[in-house]
Amino acid sequence: MDYKTFYQRSIDDPQGFWAEQARLIDWQQPPQTICDYSRPPFARWFVGGTTNLCHNAVDRHLAERADQNALIHVSTETGTERAYSFRELHTEVQRMAAVLQSLGVRQGDRVLIYMPMIPEAVFAMLACTRLGAIHSVVFGGFASVSLASRIDDAQPCVVVSADAGSRSGKVVPYKPLLDEAIRLATHKPERVLMVNRGLAPMDTVAGRDADYASLREQHLEAQVPCIWVNADHPSYTLYTSGTTGKPKGVQRDTGGYAVALAASMKHIFCGNPGETYFSTSDIGWVVGHSYIVYGPLIAGMATILYEGLPVRPDAGIWWQLVEKYKVTVMFSAPTAVRVLKKHDAAFLKKYDLSSLRALFLAGEPLDEPTAQWIADSLGKPIIDNYWQTETGWPILTIANGVEKKPSKFGSPGVPMYGYRVKLLHEGTGEELTGPHQKGVLAIEGPLPPGCMQTVWRDDERFVKTYWSAVPNRQVYSTFDWAIRDEDGYYFILGRTDDVINVAGHRLGTREIEESISSHPKVAEVAVVGVADNLKGQVAMAFAVLKDPSEAASEAQALQLEGEIMKVVDQQLGAVARPARVRFVTALPKTRSGKLLRRAIQAVCEHRDPGDLTTIEDPAALQQIQAIVSAPTV
C-alpha cells in the first residue's frame, strides 16, 4: 500500500484503522469502542479494553524469545556492561515489583523515579506498570527546587533513587539533592528506595529510606502477576522541560500508548523481533520512555541502555556498540551529531556498521549541513522526526515501513497516520493550503492514540494551554512555526514563542540559525532576541566554529562576522541580520542536549538566567557572560 492511501485511511476511518493496529498488542479484554470523542478535546482510546504495558513489553515474549537479549546496559562511566535476557528481565521486574509492594505501592499510586541510566531504573518503570502504579521519571541530577515541585505535583508514595550518577568521569551525588527536595516539598513521600552503586556516601533517614539490595534479597523468588488495567488508566506522567511555576505533567494512558508504540516500531522504525535498538537518549525524557524502554521491548527487540558520553573513551564508542550488538535501528539527537562532527570522521569508518539500517534523529531541528555530514560519514539513511513530550511518538517523519520515501534534509517529513496536521494563520486561525506559507503547526482532534490524555490533575490547563492558542478554532497547537513544500514535506521554523520582533518585523530565530549554519566555517549556532531601545529587539548570534583558530585574532573575528552577516543578508534580507555574531567555544546546553536559549537571552539582557543546575557546561554560559559584559570599543 502506498503511504498516501495508508494515511488517508487513518483519517477517514480511524475506528477501522486503529482497530487493526490494536491487534499488534495483547489484550486481556479486547476494546469495545475504539475511540470515544464525546467530550472534545479529551479522547479516550480503546474503551472497554484491558491490558498491561509491562506484559506487552516483557511477559508476552517469554514463550518465543525468553533467552534473547532484552536489556543491554553499558556504562562507560563505570566500565560495566551487562545483558539481561527477557527471562532475566522478567525475574528482575518481579523482584522490583515485590519490593515496591512491600513499601506500600498499589494500583493507582504514584512512584517518582529519580535515577541514573542503570538497569534498576528500567526495572522500576516496568514494575510500576506491572502493578498498575503510575511512574513519574525525573531526569537524574535535576535541581532540588525543580524536583520538589514535581514531588508536590505527582504526590508519590515512594521515590526510587540512587546514591549517584556519573558524567564525564565526575560523580554526581543524587541523595543530597533528593533529601533537600523532600525537605522543600510540601508532600512528603512515605518511603525512599535507594540503589547503592558505591559511587558516593549517603546519609539515610531511619524509617523512610530503604536499601534496594537488601529488600531484593528477600524477594528473589517473587512472582508478581500483571494487573490488567483499563486502556485509559494512566501509565505515567512526565514533566515537560522548561516549565516555569507549577510544573506541567503530561499524562499518558496505557492501551493507546502501547498500540501507538507497537505501530510506530512497525511502520516508522522498521524494528523486528530479535534485533537490537539503540536510543542514545535518557529515561528522564520522552524519547527514553518511548524508545529506550517501552517501544523496542514491545516489539520484541533488545534495547541498549547507555550511560556515558558519545566521545568517551573516544568518538567511536557508539559505533563500537553498533558492531558488537548488531544494532539495526539507532535513535539520537542532532546535538550529539554536531559533537561527533568536531572529531575525526575516521571513528565512523572504524567499525562494521553493516547491521545498521537507519539513524533517526529528533529533539531539535536538524539542519541540512549536519544531516549531510552524518549521512556521508555513515553511508546510511538519516531519518529526521519531529514530535513532542506531549505526543509520545512522531508527528512528522517518513513511514518507510509502509512505503519507502526519500528524506529531504532540513525537513522531518510528512504527517504520520492518525495526525490531522494543519498549518494555520496565527491571527485568524484560517487554514493555509498553499506551499511555502508560514503558519502555526496544529493538529485537529482527536489526537491519535499514545498522545497525552490531559495535564495531570488539571484538565482546565490542558484545554487552556494546548487547545485555546489558535483564534477561532479548537485545535492542538504545537507552538511551532512551519511551512510545507509542494510535495507535502514540512519544515519546522522554530517556536512561535521564539519570535523576535525587530522594528515591527517578526523573525523566527530558527530561520536565522539555519542561515548562519550554512556558512562553511560554522559548526553550531544559537540566535536569541535581545531587548533593544531602538528596535524593540535585535537578534544576537553565538557561533561555534569548526576550527576556532579561524577567529583567533580580533581582525579575523570581525572579517568572519562580516562574511556571516552577508550570508544572512543574501538569504533572508538585511532585516534578519543579527546585531552581532560572537564566536564561542561551546554553547550552554542541558544534559539532554537542549540549547539554553532563554538563559543566553537573560545573560545578554543582564538578567538572572535562573536555575542552571541542569546545565552541562557552566563555562559555556560564563564565556557568553564575559563577552556581553566586556566594554565595546
Write out pLDDT tens, residues 433-482: 999 999 999 999 999 999 999 999 999 999 999 999 999 999 999 999 99
How far is Cα 247 from Cα 573, in angstroms, rounded to an integer? 39
Residue range(s) in the chain whose domain bears CATH number 3.30.300.30:
498-629
**Do residues 528 and 604 touch, judged by C-beta distance below 8 A?**
yes
Write out pLDDT tens, residues 578-616: 999 999 999 998 776 778 888 899 899 998 887 666 677
Q: Which residue has the cell 534580507?
A: 573
**Do residues 516 and 581 touch, judged by C-beta distance below 8 A?**
yes
How far is Cα 234 from Cα 253, in angstroms, rounded to an integer? 4
How far is Cα 599 from Cα 347, in angstroms, rounded to an integer? 34
How far is Cα 159 from Cα 100, in angstroms, rounded to an integer? 10
pLDDT at 243: 36
How far is Cα 443 from Cα 89, in angstroms, rounded to an integer? 38
Residue ranges with strand state E in 153-225: 158-162, 164-167, 170-173, 191-195, 209-211
**Do residues 502 and 515 touch, judged by C-beta distance below 8 A?**
no
Select from 399, 416, 345 the least CA-distant residue to 376.
345
The dotted CATH code for 498-629 is 3.30.300.30
Helix, strand, or coil here: 73? strand
Q: According to DSSP H, which parts of 133-204 are helical? A: 144-154, 175-184
Write the DSSP assignment of 351-389 as a string of letters: S--TT--EEEE-SS---HHHHHHHHHHH-S-EEE-B--T
Residue range(s) in the chain whose domain bears CATH number 3.40.50.12780:
3-308+385-480
Low-confidence ranges of the chain (pLDDT < 50): 242-244, 633
**pTM > 0.75: yes or no:** yes
pLDDT at 245: 53
How far is Cα 461 from Cα 423, in angstroms, rounded to an integer? 23
**Do residues 132 and 227 touch, judged by C-beta distance below 8 A?**
yes
**Do residues 141 and 93 touch, judged by C-beta distance below 8 A?**
no
**Do residues 407 and 398 touch, judged by C-beta distance below 8 A?**
yes
How far is Cα 603 from Cα 472, in angstroms, rounded to an integer? 37
How far is Cα 127 from Cα 139, in angstroms, rounded to an integer? 18
How far is Cα 211 from Cα 458, in angstroms, rounded to an integer? 34
Question: 397 - beta bridge partners?
Answer: 414
Question: 195 - beta bridge partners?
Answer: 162
Q: Is 473 exposed, middle or buried (0-12, 13-18, 19+ CB in 10 A)?
A: middle
How far is Cα 187 from Cα 148, in angstroms, rounded to an integer? 9
State which H helix or E strand residue 584 sits in. strand 580-584
**Do residues 521 and 546 touch, judged by C-beta distance below 8 A?**
yes
**Do residues 496 and 478 touch, judged by C-beta distance below 8 A?**
no
Q: Which residue has the cell 539520537?
A: 332
**CATH H-level, domain 3-308+385-480: superfamily:** ANL, N-terminal domain (3.40.50.12780)
